[in-house]
Amino acid sequence: MFLKVIWSLCSILTLVSCASSIKLEPQQATEFDKGVIAADEKTVVPEESQLNAGLVFNILGGELAGQRGEMGSATSLYVAAAKQSKSPEVAQRAVQIALFNKDVVSARSVIELALEKPDSTAQLHHIALLVYLHTGEVESSLHQAQEILSKSNDKRSQAFLTLAEIITRSAKKEAAYQIINSLVAKYQNDAGAYLARSQVAFRFVDLELALSDAKKAAELDNDWSIAYAQWARVLEKKGDVNGSLEVLESASIKFSDRAIINSYAKLLAKDGQYKKSEQQFKRLLEADVTDHEARFSLGLVYLKNGEVASAKRAFTALVNTESFASRSAYYLGQISYQQKELEQALVWFFSVSEGPAYIDAQVNAARIKNELGKLGDARQILKALRKIFPAHASRLYVLESQFLMAAQKPAELLTLMNGAIEKKPDDLTLRYTRSIASAELDLLVQAEKDLKYILEKKP
């Protein structure tokens, strides 16, 4: 009977592994995080000789808890399964789930078991490095970094960049320097080591070291464009924009590298050199007509330079693209508004989907509706926005109050402000607006009360 139960549970476990194992890929994670934290999509099943009812329960329970989003339970169950089975594969899965749940203590409790895998990969050592950095274990972290360098399938220079990223994101300053200085001492002739230390130093705002190491990396590997990009980045951070532009200009000629040219073009625009910036973005488009980022940036440069027709063409070419449709529609709405094409501007602003420009697009649409004499529509837009974006409620209330003041509707304004102040009693701008509405309606006691409240808070 017991064997039948185990077989039944294992069959269910196999179905879970095929159909719905835990996805450990947070939306905001970088590609590096995804590669390190994300567990294999198949549920880990230990050797048959290891199976017993308790172990199967812990693994199956861990998977089901993860599917329900109960990551604390998933962590506990998988850690228990790892300790019970002594399986490096189960331990690795447990560590990944624990890190996803930001439970470093649980991850640390089984990381050494995971490292017992005879065919350990660079990814496993990345995971271990994350754990040891978070627990402040410098020697163990250094050992894992060296394992990564020896086992990575990437070129060593690229492996160094990966190490720099995880160290800058996960290590405290003292530990970070101890690890990276040890690596530089061991790999004194490797450009990657110096560039990695430059990035670590940049993270901790040690700009002199960051600059000297970036230069050293470029000296050791004169054909590595990333070293020049870091060199320019440090100079810009130091406030030497001209020096940064010189490095990027030279590198853009030497390498014809998209990332370098893009950085050069953006820094030129930031420095107000719009014509030169325009030339560089056009250069990118000549190399790749589908470079939507370059086309969007070029549109922004056209706007800064007052070339509205050219900007309009650039943004119109992007409204059907996935990445730049909303942002392009937003700028097309602004252009139409400036050209007094109010109905067309509305079309563009309403076509901005939720994203960075969404709230501003909707606010602009409300302004236009008000200008067109459709106060009710404008108010409905702002009311809807307050529900979606409560953090912006004060700004939206104030805008609606401006519409009502302009329309000479003090009674409706007072009603609006009473409701707003109920929700945000300490907002002085709302109280001042209510005092104006109260005064307009000869409710002088209420107006005086609000003004005294404001003066009490801000004499």
pTM above 0.85, yes or no: no
DSSP string, 180-192: HHHHHHHTTT-HH
Q: Determine the pLDDT at residue 117.
A: 85
* Cβ-contact 397, 423 below 8 angstroms: no
| Residue-level pLDDT at 394 | 92
Q: What is the dihedral of CA 146, 151, 153, 157, to 10 degrees?
A: 20
pLDDT value, residue 37: 52
Nearest partner of 450 among 440, 433, 459, judged by Cα: 433
The whole-number pLDDT of residue 249 equals 97
pLDDT of residue 10: 45
The pLDDT assigned to 7 comes to: 37
What is the C-alpha to C-alpha distance for residues 179 and 175, in angstroms, rounded to an integer? 6
The residues, any chain, with a CB within 8 Å of residue 412's CB and separated by 6 or more, are: 404
Output the six-digit token pair for 279. 């030339």
One-letter amino acid of 225: S
Tell me the three state secondary structure of residue 48: helix
HEC secondary structure over 293-306: HHHHHHHHHHHHCC
pLDDT for the residue numbered 67: 86
Listing DSSP states for 177-221 in one string gives: HHHHHHHHHHTTT-HHHHHHHHHHHHHTT-HHHHHHHHHHHHHH-
- pLDDT for 38 equals 55
Output the DSSP codes for 396-458. HHHHHHHHHHHTT-HHHHHHHHHHHHHH-TT-HHHHHHHHHHHHHTT-HHHHHHHHHHHHHH-
Q: What count of other Cβ atoms lies within 10 Å of the Cβ of residue 122?
A: 18
Q: Which residues of the chain have pLDDT under 50?
A: 1-20, 25-32, 34-35, 41
Do 211 and 235 meet the contact criterion of CB atoms below 8 Å apart? yes
**The token pair that represents 84 in the structure block:** 């019970």
User: What's the pLDDT score for residue 11?
Assistant: 44
